[in-house]
A and B are shown apart, each in its own frame.
Chain A
C-alpha cells in the first residue's frame, strides 16, 4: 500500500491540480492509518477547491478518527447545513457530539438518522442518548426511584418505541422575560403539583394542557424545558417528524406509547412541538385517516383509559389558527399563551449570553437591543454570528485577533432582518379578521393594534 501511496505522491508532484488523484491518495492514506497525511491532502484539495463536499466529508472523518472531535463537529455542522450528509455519514457526527457532551444536538442529528433509516441501531449511541423507560409497561407498579431510572439498561428494547427523554436542569430563572407566560404556567401546572390540597379546597380541577404560540425562534421549546426543570420532572420532546411518523403507518399505537411512556415516568412534561401538525384544522385537510390521529390524541389527553396524573402536557405551534378547535376545549389545551419576541431587557440578556467568552470590547448591548425590536432569540444569535464572521475575516487578514465592537453588531443587525416579521404579517390578519373568540388579543396588544 505504501508503494501505491508513494507512486501517487509522485504523480501528484507533476500534476498538483489533479483533485480526483489527490482524493484517492487521501483515501489510501486513511486506510493506511496515515491520518495526519490524509488530513493534509484534504486541506490541499480544499485550498484549491474551497467547499468541495467530498473533501470536507473526508476531512471530517479523519478528524473523527484522530479524536479531534470539536474540529470534526465544525466541519460536520457546515456539511449538515448544506444538507449534504446521508445517514451513514451522520453517525460519526453523532458520536463526536456525544464525546463533546452536546447531547441535545446529538439527539437532533440522531433523529435525522432514524428518519432516513428507521431500522438503524447503534448501542453506543443508544446508551448515551436514550433514557431507558422503566421495565414492563404493562401495569407494573412503579416507584419513583431515580437511581433505578438512571440505572443500567435492563430493558430489552426492540418491540417498544422509545422516545427521547431527558431531565433538564433549566429553571424558570434561566429564561429571560416572559413573565406572563411563566405566571400562567405556574398557576396552571406547577402550583397544582406543589399544593394539591389548595386546589382541591377550591374545587379547582387540575389537568389540561397549555398551548404556547408565537413566532418561530422565540423560546417556546426552551420555556417548556424550563417548566420540566422547574418541577424536577422528566421531559419528552415530540417533534414534527415524530408527529408525522404517527400519521403514517401504525400511528395510533405510537401515540399511545408516547403517553404511556410519559405516564410511566411521571412526573413528566410531555411536549408536542409544532402540534398543528397533528391538529391541523379540518378545512386544511379534509377527510383522510388524519381524523383518527386527532381523535386518538384527544382521547389520550382526556385520559379516558389511563389517568394522566403527573403528566403535564405542553404544546407549541407557530400556527395556532391551524390547530383544530377541538384541541382548545376545557380540559385540553384550555390555556393558549402568546410567546412574544423578547423585550428590550431580555434582548440585552440574550446578547450578553451569546457574547460570553467571545473576544469583545465592552459592548453597548442596550444600543443593540434598541435596534432589534421584534428580533427573536434565534435572530439575535444570528446577529452575533454575523458580527463574528466579520471579525474572523479581519483577524485572518491581519493575523491577530480583532475584538468585536458595538459597531460590528449594529452593522450585523442591519444586515440580518427580524425573521419574525413574516410571521407577524400573517398573524396580524388572523388577529384582525378571524378573532371572534378573542384568542389573538395578545397579538393585537403586542402589535399595538386596537379594534
Chain B
C-alpha cells in the first residue's frame, strides 16, 4: 500500500521549492505504482515546464488528458508550454479549451492576453485582460497585460493608471517592475528604467527579461544607442508591413534627396541627410557593440555582459581603433593606406557577429561566413605589404562577401 497523497503533496512542495529532481523522484514513486495517475502526471509535466523541457511537458500533459479529459488546468499548462515554445496558435487553442471548461481563472485570461500581445493583436489582448480582471480584479498579471495592451493602443492615461494599480497591489512584484522598466526604455527615459530594473533584479536576480532590460538601460546612457534602441523597440511593436515599409522607404527617400545636384541648397541638404543616414545604418549595425564597449569600462556594466558580448565588444573596439590609427599614416605617408584603414574598420562587422569562444568553421552559415570574412580581411591586410596584386585579389573576394553579408542580413531583419 502506497501513501499516494503524501507523495504527491511532497512532490508539489518540492516543485514549488524548485527542487525539481527531488519532486520528480517523488512523482516517480507514485507513477511506478500507477502509471496513469493523473495528478502525478500533471505535477511531472509542471516540473518539465519549470525546467524548460517544454516538449516533454507537452507530451506528458497530453498523456494525462487521456485519463482525465476535462482538466482545465492541464489545458492551461499545455497552452503555457506552447507559449514558451513560441507556438502562439496552439497556445491559444489550448487556452480556449481551458477557458471553456472553467472560465473563472484570471491566470488563464492573463496568459491568453500575453499570447495576443505576442501576436501584436493588441485589441484582443485588452479584451482578455479585461475578462480576467472581471474574474479577479486584483490579478497582477492581468493588470500588467492590460497596461501593455493599452500602451500599444496609445491609451496612455489608462495604461499608467493600470500599471500603477498593479504596483500598488504588490510593490514587490518583479514582473511589474520589469514591465515598467521596458516601458520607460521605449520612451527613452533610461534613468527611470534603470531604477525599475534594479528593483526587479533585487526581487528576482535570475529574471532574464529584467536583466536584458537593465543591460539595455545601462547602455542607453550612450545617446546613439538610446535612439537605436527606441527605433528597434518601436519597429518591434509594428505590423509586418510597417517593418518592411519604413527602412525601404527611408532608403528610397535618401536616394532621391541625395541625387539632387543642381540646387546648391538641396545639394547640401542631401549630403547631410546622407551622412545622417549612413550614421544611422552603421549604428544599427554596431551601436550595441559600441555600447557594450562603453559598459566594459563601467563598474556595473562589465558584470552584466555575457562573455561573448564582452569579447565581441573588444574585437569591435580593436578594429575601429586600428582603422582610426591607420588614418594617420594614410594622411601623411601614403594615400593608399586609406583603403587599408577602411578595410580594417569594416572588419568590425564580421567580428561583431562572432561567438566566443571561437569554434572554427562550426555553427550557422552566418557565423562561418563571418569567420571566413575575418580571415580574408586579415590575409588582404598582410598581403597589402607583400604583393599588391594578391592583396587586390583577396580584397575583391572580401568585398563580395561583405556586400553579400550586409544584404542577406538586411533581408533577414525585414523578414
Contacts and interface: CB of A to CB of B under 8 A. Distances in A.
Given A86-B32, A116-B2, A283-B172, A434 B202 contact: yes
Contact of B17 (A86, A276, A321, A436): A276
Contacts of A240: 19, 22
Interface stretch (A197-205, A294-302, A341-349, A424-432): A424-432
A430 B205 contact: yes
Contacts of A244: 10, 13-14
A433 interface: yes
A434 B201 contact: yes
Nearest to B214: A433
A260 to B, nearest CB: 24
Given A244-B10, A244-B14, A433-B198, A426 B22 contact: no
B17 A322 contact: yes
Interface in A294-318: none
Interface in B8-61: 9-10, 13-14, 16-19, 22, 25, 28-29, 32
B263 interface: no
Contacts of A426: 205-206
Contacts of B300: 451
A280 interface: yes
A248 B17 contact: no
Contacts of A76: none
Interface in A413-443: 426, 428-430, 432-434, 436
A122 interface: no
Q: Give the most central of A240, A244, A280, A450: most B CB within 10 Å.
A: A244
A399 interface: no
B17 A451 contact: no
A262 interface: no
B226 to A, nearest CB: 23
Contacts, number: 56
B201 to A, nearest CB: 4
Contacts of A276: 17
Interface string B291-330: 0000000011001100000000000000000000000000
Nearest to A430: B205
A432 B303 contact: yes
A429 B17 contact: no
B3 interface: yes
A449 B301 CA distance: 12
B364 interface: no
B6 interface: yes
A450 B29 CA distance: 46
A13 interface: no
Please report whether the interface of chain B is mostly helix, strand, loop or mixed according to DSSP. Answer: helix
Contacts of A248: 6, 9-10, 13
A35 interface: no
A289 to B, nearest CB: 11
A116 B30 CA distance: 10
A124 interface: no
A396 interface: no
A428 B205 CA distance: 9
Contact of A83 (B3, B16, B28, B203): B28
A426 to B, nearest CB: 6
Interface in A49-97: 83, 86
A429 B28 contact: no
Contact of B202 (A277, A322, A433, A451): A433
A284 interface: yes
A241 B25 CA distance: 12
B202 A285 contact: no
Given A248-B10, A433-B198, A280 B17 contact: yes
A439 B22 CA distance: 28
A158 interface: no
A65 to B, nearest CB: 25
A118 interface: yes
Contacts of B13: 244, 247-248
Interface in B98-145: none
B225 to A, nearest CB: 22
Nearest to A116: B29
Interface string A361-404: 00000000000000000000000000000000000000000000
A451 B299 CA distance: 6
Given A248-B10, A322-B17, A451-B299, A429 B201 contact: yes
Interface string B201-217: 11101100001000000
Nearest to A318: B19
Nearest to A247: B13
Interface string A238-278: 00110010011000000000000000000000000000110
A254 to B, nearest CB: 14
Contacts of A450: 299
Given A118-B3, A248-B6, A277 B205 contact: no
Given A429-B206, A434-B201, A285 B303 contact: no
Contacts of A86: 32
Interface string B169-213: 000100000000000000000000000001001110110000100
B43 to A, nearest CB: 14
A241 B23 CA distance: 11
30 contacts: A83-B25, A116-B2, A116-B29, A240-B22, A244-B10, A244-B13, A244-B14, A247-B13, A248-B6, A248-B10, A276-B17, A277-B19, A280-B17, A283-B203, A284-B16, A285-B16, A319-B18, A321-B205, A426-B205, A429-B201, A429-B211, A430-B206, A433-B198, A434-B202, A434-B203, A434-B205, A449-B303, A450-B299, A451-B299, A451-B300
Interface of B: 1-3, 6, 9-10, 13-14, 16-19, 22, 25, 28-29, 32, 172, 198, 201-203, 205-206, 211, 299-300, 303-304
Q: Ordered nearest first, which 9 A-B pairs have the shortest CB separation?
A: A429-B205, A433-B201, A433-B205, A430-B205, A434-B205, A434-B202, A429-B206, A244-B10, A426-B206
Given A277-B17, A430-B205, A432-B304, 16 more contacts: A83-B28, A86-B32, A116-B29, A244-B14, A247-B13, A248-B6, A248-B9, A248-B10, A280-B17, A284-B16, A284-B17, A319-B18, A429-B201, A433-B198, A434-B205, A451-B300
